[in-house]
């Protein structure tokens, strides 16, 4: 009976992890509400989940989150504003050339549309990597963008796994909530941090190739 109430018991460790993910998800949402702080909040979440994925979160989720949030606030905010601005332009372009373009030449429209789609894909690759890189490495903003593009392309298979896995998790949660809207609706409270934890496990594998774990 004593083993059941031992905090090292696998059941209690699992419950503790779920609680950590709930707190982390809540912090991420609350700190992202001003919108402009989305970058710093997301960086802090990845900082935590990369630690959790290695079982190195002894400092506690709350302190880890705000430590990273404070340290990365300025640079992550600049990165986020750049990414949001470029993403907005690309979204406008794809909508414009799809529905409102005055260009009559079908071939030219297709070429422009294809180029825009390619740029959107590159944007998605960079967006996927840039905040985990910001959480892990100390670099100037320009270097962080270069690393995000470089790593996402060099580790293309892992990038596909990260993106496809994230979509599968979202789809699975959506199906569960639609079929069992009662208890399964609680999954929404750990959705963001849960996806981040999955991605963090993949990013740790990638980043290990570029950093000595003992020097983190």
* Chain segment 148-183, per-residue pLDDT in tens: 999 999 999 999 999 999 999 999 999 988 888 877
Contact indicator for 163, 141 with CB cutoff of 8 Å: no
Q: Does residue 85 have a pLDDT over 80?
A: yes
pLDDT reported for residue 214: 38
- Burial of 47 from C-beta contacts in 10 A (0-12 / 13-18 / 19+): buried
pLDDT reported for residue 14: 76
Number of H helices, E strands in the chain: 7, 0
Question: Among 48-57, 75-84, 106-115, 125-134, where is mean pLDDT lowest?
Answer: 106-115
Q: What gap in Å lies between CA 89 and CA 87, rounded to an integer?
A: 5
Mean pLDDT, the chain, rounded, equals 88
Q: Which secondary-structure segment (H or E) carries 92?
A: helix 61-95
Enter the pTM of the model: 0.88
């Amino acid at each position: 009976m004593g083993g059941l109430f031992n905090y090292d018991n696998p059941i209690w460790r699992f419950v503790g992890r779920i609680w950590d993910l709930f707190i982390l998800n809540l912090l991420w949402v609350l700190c992202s509400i001003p919108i402009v702080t989305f970058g710093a909040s997301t960086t802090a979440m990845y900082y935590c989940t990369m630690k959790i994925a290695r079982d190195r979160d002894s400092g506690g989720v709350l302190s880890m989150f705000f430590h990273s949030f404070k340290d990365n606030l300025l640079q992550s905010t600049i990165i986020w504003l750049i990414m949001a601005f470029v993403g907005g332009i690309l979204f406008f372009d794809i909508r414009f050339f799809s529905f409102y373009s005055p260009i009559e030449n079908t071939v030219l429209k297709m070429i422009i549309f294809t180029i825009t789609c390619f740029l959107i894909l590159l944007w998605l690759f960079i967006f996927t990597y840039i905040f985990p890189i910001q959480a892990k490495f100390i670099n100037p903003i320009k270097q962080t963008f270069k690393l995000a593009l470089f790593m996402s392309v060099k580790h293309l298979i892992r990038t596909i796994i990260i993106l496809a896995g994230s979509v599968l998790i979202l789809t699975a949660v959506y199906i569960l909530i639609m079929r069992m809207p009662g208890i399964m609706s609680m999954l929404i409270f750990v959705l963001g941090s849960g996806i981040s934890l999955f991605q963090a496990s993949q990013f740790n594998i990638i980043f290990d190739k570029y950093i000595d774990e003992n020097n983190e």
